[in-house]
Amino acid sequence: MDNLQPRLERCFAAVFPDLGPQEIPRASIGSVAAWDSLATITLFTVLEEEFHVPIDPADADNLVSFELILDHLESRVGGG
Amino acid sequence: MKLIEALQIAQAPPAEGKPFRVYLACGFMPLHLHTFLRAHLRQRLPDRPVEVECGLFGDLPANLERAIALRFDATAVTIEWTDLDPRLGFRQLGRWRPSDLPDIAGRTRARLAQILDSVRRLAAATSVAVSAPTLPLPPVSHAPRWQASAWEAGLRADVAAFVAEATATAGVRVVGAPELDERVPPAARLDVKSEVHSGHPYRVTLDDVLGDLLARLIVPPERKKGLITDLDDTLWSGLVGEAGPEGVSWDLASGTAAHGRYQQLLDALAAAGVLIAAASKNDADTVERALRRRDLLIDEQQIHPREVHWGPKSESVGRVLRAWNVGPESVVVVDDAAIELAEVQAAHPAVTCLRFPAGDEAAVQALLVELRDLFGKETLSEEDALRAESVRNAGRLEAVAAGSHEAFLGELDGVLRFEPVNGARDARPLELVNKTNQFNLNGRRYTESDWRTQLASLERFTWVASYSDRFGPLGKIALIAGRRDGEALQVDTWVMSCRAFSRRIEHHCVERLFADFGVARIEFDFVPTERNRALQEFFAELLGTAPAAPVRLEREHFRESCPPLYHRIDGVPHG
């Protein structure tokens, strides 16, 4: 679990470069103006490369915040 | 490159200066291709901000017209089957009945002609990089996939004809299929799910590789100029000192044809203007006899100089660099012995050292491909054919000049021809500017679009000088450009090939500028660099002191300090 969060933060920082380090863990599709449909595709592609897990675009409706994505990754790849 | 790296590179703080503006023209949603193209361009242009703009989704022809109207520094045109006919894509539904196939082929042909016309108009103003369709065709044809269908073969022939026409157009470069196929096999390119959900049909690997290749076409890497080869177990198989000149081999019957293929490649490179030298720890007479064998596949005259003795290879390489007058970063050394390469690399860190993998056919083949890429050139100029001969002649010239230099210059029968550079069709002037280091006014490099803009300016002049003497022609060896500013001439670009040194051609250039423009003063936008020592020495000799930027040269001072000039001037352009 400890390993996943900093890696996910790095992914968020790359896709949303305007977010500060404090803002990233609280980021959600409602709070980040740049988080549109294209940013979602970019974020999912970055996550697939980083964590080697396929993310179905159909999951986009559920994966709408840093926290929810972290939960999703923990369930898919574990916290190791 | 991973997408996260591309994002980080693309988002890094931009460099100062004029942005390099690129238009990405495609019919699909560019998404990650845009990110990767920008990242790869930033890596190739670290000193300039890079901007990549995209057009409208689903309308490649309109995007091409937009690129023509807005005049970017370069345009990347990415064509996919769906741009040629929507029925060849995955997002728009239509009929694939056999009776529809001729119509699809006809529309595809017409659209390719339309795109070619746009690409040609684009290329008149900017450099253009094109990728032909990369994705697999949907199962449109009625033939099974394991059997070629006449319809699909015709479609691909039309695309091939388009590529042939595009590559023959000045200013247009097309992505090479072999490199793309090797890095991303056709079956690993299409992401149907992404295409359906977002309109972006590429897997991320294809985005990366295509972005890299397009960036390379827009900002080509500098090619190497010279290759220094070992002989034993490299140019030929065997040790010539032990087996004798007739005992070394490079033929199929001896199982050593890989060395023959290496000779073939060196011969082809030499004919294309690459300098070839030999560095071998051997007995010189024995080597000379081997090099005179009639079955050698490289013209032995092309191998110059030949450093054959028992001294360290690093010293041989140093002498070859001096004889060629090129920098170590422009040279490749090939040797079968890792220890020799390590010794050379330690002494010349900028040299590219490659091991000849004797006995490993596949590895030799990979080496030949790598060498072809390192020395590859889009078009060959007259100067390429002259380069090796002029370097060989330089040795004779130095020997003759060892007597009286004035007498030598007077007996050269030199002819200098100055011509204005009209348009960017001739690639040699820009090549001269971008590849010359030692006699370069300020080390400034130009992109193709910058160069075209300069040439289009009515206020500016750009001259190129060609030279020949009794030792043979050197081709176009100097370029000088600037603008008139009242009683002064402002020169901001001046380069001269190292092959033309020691002939006072630089003095002739200044003399012609004063004579043709009738100005009282020339101001040179001189910037000292680590490598323009030859130009610094020229100014120091004229001025009597170390040059300081900018260099101002008065006509009277030049007349007083200019040594005698001997060459005949031909074709003086009007200033």
Structural tokens at position B488: 């002064």
A34/chain B closest Cα distance in angstroms: 14
Q: Check CB contact under 8 Å for B4 and A49.
A: yes
Q: Check CB contact under 8 Å for B198 and A37.
A: yes
The pLDDT of residue B365 is above 60: yes
Structural tokens at position B228: 């220094």
**Nearest CA among B110, B24, B135, B119 for reference residue B72:** B24
Whole-number percent of chain B with pLDDT over 90: 71
Structural tokens at position A28: 């959600």
pLDDT at position B142: 85
The pLDDT of residue B208 is above 70: yes
The pLDDT of residue B48 is above 50: yes
Residue type, B211: G
pLDDT at position B185: 96
**Nearest CA among B179, B189, B111 for reference residue B370:** B179
Q: Check CB contact under 8 Å for B7 and A14.
A: yes
Residue, of B352 and B548, whose pLDDT is higher: B352
B31 neighbourhood in chain A, CB within 8 Å: 38, 41-42
Structural tokens at position B461: 């002049």
Query: Is residue B501 very low, low, confident or very high in pLDDT (cuts 50, 70, 90)?
Result: confident
Task: Give the three-class secondary structure for B543.
Answer: helix
ipTM of the complex: 0.88
**pLDDT tens readout for residues B417-430:** 999 998 777 888 99
**Nearest CA among B91, B19, B79 for reference residue B53:** B19
Q: Check CB contact under 8 Å for A57 and B11.
A: no
Write the DSSP string, B463-498.
EEEEEEETTEEEEEEEEEEEEEETTEEEEEEEEE-G
Nearest to A45 among B8, B11, B32 (CB): B32
Residue of chain B with shortest Cα separation from A39: B31
pLDDT at position B38: 96
DSSP secondary structure letter of residue B74:
E
Residue of chain B with shortest Cα separation from A37: B198
B212/chain A closest Cα distance in angstroms: 18
**pLDDT tens readout for residues A10-21:** 999 999 999 999
Nearest to A42 among B32, B193, B197 (CB): B32
A40 neighbourhood in chain B, CB within 8 Å: none
Structural tokens at position B476: 């176009």
Nearest to A50 among B4, B8, B198 (CB): B4
Structural tokens at position B346: 């330690």
Nearest to B3 among A10, A49, A57 (CB): A49
Structural tokens at position B191: 């992401």
What residues are paired with B202 via a beta bridge?
B190
Residue of chain B with shortest Cα separation from A47: B4
Query: Is residue B58 very low, low, confident or very high in pLDDT (cuts 50, 70, 90)?
Result: confident
Phi, psi of B358 (to 5 degrees): -55, 135
Residue, of B377 and B561, whose pLDDT is higher: B561
Tell how far CA B257 is from the center of its chain: 30
Query: Is residue A80 very low, low, confident or very high in pLDDT (cuts 50, 70, 90)?
Result: very low
Residue type, B248: V
B319/chain A closest Cα distance in angstroms: 49
Query: Is residue B152 very low, low, confident or very high in pLDDT (cuts 50, 70, 90)?
Result: very high
Mean pLDDT of B180-201: 92
In this complex, is the C-beta atom of A61 within 8 Å of any C-beta atom belonging to chain B?
Answer: no
Task: Give the three-class secondary structure for B521.
Answer: strand
Mean pLDDT of B84-97: 88
Residue of chain A with shortest Cα separation from B2: A49
Q: Which residues of B touch A (CB under 8 A)?
A: 2-4, 7-8, 11, 29, 31-32, 35, 193-194, 197-198, 200, 204
A75/chain B closest Cα distance in angstroms: 23
Mean pLDDT of B517-538: 92
pLDDT at position A1: 47
pLDDT at position B12: 86
Q: Check CB contact under 8 Å for A50 and B200.
A: no
Q: How many CB atoms lie within 10 A of CB B222?
A: 11
Residue, of B126 and B397, whose pLDDT is higher: B126
A37 neighbourhood in chain B, CB within 8 Å: 198
Which one of A58-62, B10-14, B290-294, B475-479 scores highest in mean pLDDT?
Answer: B290-294
Mean pLDDT of B460-479: 90
Mean pLDDT of B292-319: 94
**Nearest CA among B523, B462, B526 for reference residue B488:** B523
**Nearest CA among B558, B467, B568, B551 for reference residue B517:** B558
Nearest to B4 among A11, A38, A57 (CB): A11
In this complex, is the C-beta atom of A46 within 8 Å of any C-beta atom belonging to chain B?
Answer: yes
d(CA B88, CA B155): 11
In this complex, is the C-beta atom of A41 within 8 Å of any C-beta atom belonging to chain B?
Answer: yes
pLDDT at position B328: 94
β pairing state of B74-78 and B50-54: unpaired
What residues are paired with B128 via a beta bridge?
B75, B172
- Prior bond of B305 cis (ω within 30°): yes
d(CA B527, CA B550): 7
Nearest to B31 among A10, A14, A38 (CB): A38
Mean pLDDT of B156-183: 95
Query: In sequence order, what are the residues at sequence separation of 6 or more whose Cβ sits closer than 8 angstroms to the Cβ of residue B508?
Result: B416, B465, B565, B567, B569
Mean pLDDT of A59-78: 88
Mean pLDDT of B521-544: 92
Give me the half-sphere count of Cα atoms (radius 13 Å) on the Cβ side of residue A25. 5
In this complex, is the C-beta atom of A45 within 8 Å of any C-beta atom belonging to chain B?
Answer: yes
Residue of chain A with shortest Cα separation from B7: A14
Best probe of the B interface among A43, A46, A51, by most B CBs < 10 A, is: A46
Cα angle B509, B514, B519; round to 5:
145
Task: Give the three-class secondary structure for B541.
Answer: helix
Nearest to B4 among A37, A38, A46 (CB): A46
Sign of CA dihedral B480, B485, B489, B491: negative
Residue type, B187: A
Mean pLDDT of B128-139: 95
Query: In sequence order, what are the residues at sequence separation of 6 or more whose Cβ sits closer than 8 angstroms to the Cβ of residue B39?
Result: B1, B5, B6, B7, B9, B10, B211
**pLDDT tens readout for residues B431-468:** 899 888 889 999 998 888 888 888 888 899 999 999 99
| Assigned architecture for domain A4-77 | Orthogonal Bundle (1.10)
Domain spans in chain A, listed from the N-terminal domain onward: 4-77
Write the DSSP string, A21-78.
TTTGGG-BTTT-TT-SHHHHHHHHHHHHHHH-----GGGGGT--BHHHHHHHHHHHH-
A12/chain B closest Cα distance in angstroms: 10
Phi, psi of B356 (to 5 degrees): -85, 115
pLDDT at position B75: 97
pLDDT at position B457: 87
Q: Check CB contact under 8 Å for A45 and B204.
A: yes
**Nearest CA among B222, B210, B174 for reference residue B374:** B222
Q: How many CB atoms lie within 10 A of CB B297?
A: 17
Task: Give the three-class secondary structure for B457.
Answer: coil
The pLDDT of residue B67 is above 90: yes
**pLDDT tens readout for residues B262-303:** 999 999 999 998 999 999 999 999 999 999 999 999 999 999
Q: Check CB contact under 8 Å for A42 and B7.
A: yes
**pLDDT tens readout for residues B6-34:** 999 988 887 788 899 999 999 999 999 99
Q: Check CB contact under 8 Å for A14 and B204.
A: no
d(CA B353, CA B345): 7
Sign of CA dihedral B527, B528, B532, B534: positive
pLDDT at position B425: 77
**pLDDT tens readout for residues B385-412:** 777 777 767 666 665 655 677 877 888 8
User: What mean pLDDT value characterizes chain B?
Assistant: 91
DSSP secondary structure letter of residue B301:
G
A10 neighbourhood in chain B, CB within 8 Å: 4
The pLDDT of residue B370 is above 50: yes
The pLDDT of residue B258 is above 90: yes
Best probe of the B interface among A45, A49, A59, by most B CBs < 10 A, is: A45
Residue type, B428: R
A38 neighbourhood in chain B, CB within 8 Å: 29, 31, 198
